[in-house]
A and B are shown apart, each in its own frame.
Chain A
Amino acid sequence: MESSEREDYLEAVLVRQLAAQPPPSAKDIAEDLHQGEDTVSANLKSLENQGDLVFNEKRAIILTGQGHSIAERVLKKHRVLQCFLGEILGMDDNAASDEACILEHSISDTAISRIGNYVNKAGSRRSSHWGNTPCYKSMTKNNPKPHNQVSIPGSHPASPISTCSSLIDAMESVPLTVMGITGGDHLHRLIDLGIIPGEVVILRRRLHNNAVVLQVKECDIALSPEIAGTILVENME
């Protein structure tokens, strides 16, 4: 089984999982990937042997930590590429998605992260997506906690390419890119202080009630929890 095929399978499972559907069966995946059920079953079996997924008692597919992180990485690449091809290069949505399906398997992490940064900058600096276009959402959607994840001894989940979340859930002391503010225009003080999409900020402190101190443009800004919660950020690493 080729690595691109493996990635496609795992991605398909993750997409179903993110859509908050019940764990998919081999039949569901066959449908999604437009392949024969027998081929799919055989391939899933070999993925199970590789430790990417397990079947539960109802024969439904559940990703392991390893499988989840591979799937997440590919899905992220897919979204970045689709966004880049569609919104920046102006390709038709379906064509962009199909093209992204091909490119996502071979593109390097460096290239994808640069494209991701470019798309973000274009979003914040020049025009287009400030925070609520479909493309923006698909790129920065909150990574849901991998529910149903089964940890298998000996497999260590690789860290995902990015973790996008509200400021409240972000990590302290690492550079974060502001992705958007959901609070609307009344938070113009945030804009004045430089908290705008594309800006790189550092979470200096978070109290247990989620009040935070954010370092923006070398200044420390204290924010109440309800304000911190409206700021979406992405881990840059």
Chain B
Amino acid sequence: MKIGLIGNPNVGKSLIFNQLTGLGVEVSNYPGTTVGLEKGHVCYQREKFEVCDLPGIYSLDGDSDEEKLVNGMLERHELDLVIAILDAVHLERTLYLFLQVAEYGLPLLVVLNMVDEAEKFGISVDSSELSKILGCPVIMTAAIHGRGTDQILPSALSSACPASLTVDYDHHIEAAVRSIMGNFPVSRPAALLTLEGIGADQEILDTSAAIASEIENRHKMSPRQIISANRHHFAEQIADRVITVRQKKTGFDLDRLLTKGIPGIPIMAAILIGILLLVFMIGSRLEGIIVAFFNTYLVQPLLTLGLPPLLQQVSISVLLGLQAGIGIAFPFIFTFYIFISLLEDSGYMTRAAFLADQAMHRVGLHGQAIIPMILGFGCTVPAVMSLRLLASRRERFIASFLVTMIPCSARTVIIAGVVATFVGIWWALSIYLIVFILIVITGLFLSRITPGERFGMIMEMAPLRAPQAANVVKKSWRKISEFLTIAMPLLIISSIILGLLQYYGIINAFQNFIAPFSTMVLGLPAYATTALMFGILRKEMALGALVVLAGTPALNTVMTQVQLYTWAIISVLFVPCISTIAVLYRQVGLKTVVLVTTYTVILGLAIGAGIHLAFP
């Protein structure tokens, strides 16, 4: 038996899914956290049920992938039971989707979530009256506190039934639906959709289009507008009957500060810069401790063992790989994720997006694009995945360049480990500045030359909530463990390969090959350029490789400060890492990946050559 969770974005579907299945699906306080279909299994009374967490949508008649996915599953009756999740605070708005879902005639259970928040606003919902009107069972939950969620499965299995209510559509719409259903074997909801021009069968669409234009001529509005106005009106009537508002929301509204130009924008800048600085400081402190621990207790004792040379090379490589993962990447990434989770859960992300709308316009993007950008400071991979929040191809194209250029935490490691340590903290920050200027220039340029529709921001502001410590830690841990399981083996394997290449002298051969270019154009020793190549696997590996190839962690003894600075800035800009390339390929296609990669390579080398020219 297959159960689907359907609801608006940000009503708590993922949280309820987690509580039903015990799985860890990402929960955030901004719309659109669930990408595709999340599936899990749950056993109840010795029976096994499959539960699907469907992406949050506002209606079924849009053309986004999410809407098509949910619509398709309902149309093909792939679900045996639907759990429709409504938001008690925004009942009327969430009923709009419900009315549309109810038309598919599947057994339904209505879960009225966020009753705790509704209580805070003095809103109470008469659930038995609501159940009577809808004709299917309604249960009240506060999923964030786990209240009532244990009732979901038992109620769903014992009493779920198709809703008995029907929306009163305009009689011309009803007539049109009857006529379409009389001529073609389609369901009522599918017939309504074809009137709006949505469907797969061209013959039906043509017929519907003829009827639709007739209706449009008579009503001076399109069937889509009539249908949605009818549904909204119906939802409003239901909400009026079941909601009582005791007192209006009073008290201080934090949004008065957060969404105003002043002080909102300074607050946003302070939050973002503060997070970067804190990650930088906490990260380097932790890194120092862990790296020192590795050196004293693992690397040094290993060297004194006097193993055969090949074995020693391999085991040192394994240790260096582990050290790079746990000692370098982990402190930065984990710290960053803690802060990001706080931002996500508080609902601040959508405020930042609103405030950033104007700045983002300059580079051809919209406010929502700030979310991938901020995520990009942690790791480029989730940032690229969140590009689908953006409405148009044009925006996704531009943003995929900019997001790849943002210094992720692996690149922070390089900046901290090379420039801040050996050249100076202000020089390290100047790299950020240069990268930001390049990002802005790239954005300005791309927004001029990229064709395609400009689509503005229409974004629901997530309600402000105090983040739950448990959720923040759990989420950060989930992200970091994903990183550890995916990246660690890669790090260790590539570290071993690097060690073996060095052992068999292949690296020397490559170095001899690259040396003229390296010294002439970039002014770097050949091994430094070789180390850059390892940044393609994972950015911070470039640093690991540099240390190995230089033969000493005290890099300032073998390279000048200008060389270190040049090296760091090239590796920050140069080629996105292999995981980024893979995920970009999935999100925006081969052509864009090739363009992004070529652009960053040229940019990195050009900047490096430029510095060499200026400071020979």
Contact = CB atoms under 8 A, between A and B. Distances in A.
Interface of A: 124-133, 185, 187-194, 196-199, 204-205, 207-209, 211, 213, 216-227
B562 to A, nearest CB: 41
Given A128-B220, A191-B225, A192-B62, A218 B93 contact: yes
B255 interface: yes
Interface in B177-233: 218-222, 224-226, 228-230, 232-233
B96 interface: yes
A224 B260 contact: no
Contacts, number: 130
Contacts of A211: 354, 357-358, 367, 457
Interface stretch (B18-26, B458-466, B589-597): B458-466
A112 B389 CA distance: 45
B58 A192 contact: yes
Contacts of B361: 209, 224
Contact of B225 (A196, A208, A227): A196
Contact of B232 (A196, A220, A223): A196
B92 interface: yes
Nearest to B93: A217
A208 B456 contact: no
A194 B367 CA distance: 21
B575 interface: no
B563 interface: no
Contacts of A194: 92-93, 96, 232
B220 A124 contact: no
Interface of B: 58-59, 61-62, 89-90, 92-93, 96, 170, 218-222, 224-226, 228-230, 232-233, 255, 259-261, 350, 353-355, 357-358, 361, 366-367, 454, 456-461
A192 B66 CA distance: 14
A128 B170 CA distance: 11
A44 B363 CA distance: 57
A226 B259 contact: no
B312 to A, nearest CB: 59
A221 B367 contact: no
Given A129-B220, A132-B220, A193 B90 contact: no
Contact of A224 (B222, B229, B456): B456
Nearest to B197: A185
A201 to B, nearest CB: 12
Contacts of B454: 226
Contacts of A199: 232
B232 to A, nearest CB: 6
A3 B354 CA distance: 50
B224 A185 contact: yes
B7 to A, nearest CB: 13
A225 B96 CA distance: 26
B604 to A, nearest CB: 33
A191 B247 CA distance: 29
23 contacts: A126-B170, A127-B226, A128-B220, A129-B220, A130-B222, A188-B59, A191-B225, A192-B62, A192-B96, A194-B96, A196-B228, A207-B354, A207-B358, A213-B461, A218-B90, A219-B93, A219-B461, A222-B353, A222-B460, A223-B459, A224-B357, A224-B367, A226-B456
The interface centre, meaning the residue of B58, B89, B230, B457 with most chain A CB atoms within 10 A of its CB, is B457
A205 B259 contact: yes
A222 B461 contact: yes
A227 B62 contact: no
Given A132-B220, A208-B261, A223 B58 contact: no
B222 to A, nearest CB: 6
A225 B332 CA distance: 37
A192 B357 contact: no
Contacts of A185: 222, 224-225
A221 B229 CA distance: 19
Contact of A221 (B89, B225, B255, B461): B461
B458 A223 contact: yes
* A128, A129, A222 — most chain B CB neighbours (10 Å): A222
Given A226-B456, A227-B457, A127 B355 contact: no
Interface hub of B90, B224, B353, B357 (most chain A Cβ within 10 A): B357
Given A125-B233, A222-B459, A192 B59 contact: yes
A131 B349 CA distance: 34
A204 B258 CA distance: 12
Contacts of B89: 218
A232 to B, nearest CB: 15
A205 B458 CA distance: 14
A206 to B, nearest CB: 10
A217 B233 contact: no
A8 B547 CA distance: 90
Contacts of B225: 130, 185, 191, 196
A193 B460 contact: yes
B96 A189 contact: no
Contact of B90 (A130, A187, A219, A226): A219
A227 B455 CA distance: 8
Contact of A190 (B261, B357, B458): B458
A216 B261 CA distance: 22
B219 to A, nearest CB: 5
Contacts of A189: 58, 62, 458
A205 B258 CA distance: 11
A209 B457 CA distance: 13
**Which one of A130, A131, A211, A223 has the greatest number of beta carbons of chain B within 10 Å?**
A211
Given A125-B233, A213-B461, A218 B228 contact: no
Q: Which of A130, A190, A191 has the most CB of B within 10 A?
A: A191
Contact of A130 (B221, B260, B367): B221
A209 B356 CA distance: 11
Given A190-B458, A213-B461, A124 B62 contact: no
B229 to A, nearest CB: 5
A194 B92 CA distance: 9
A10 to B, nearest CB: 32
Nearest to B358: A209
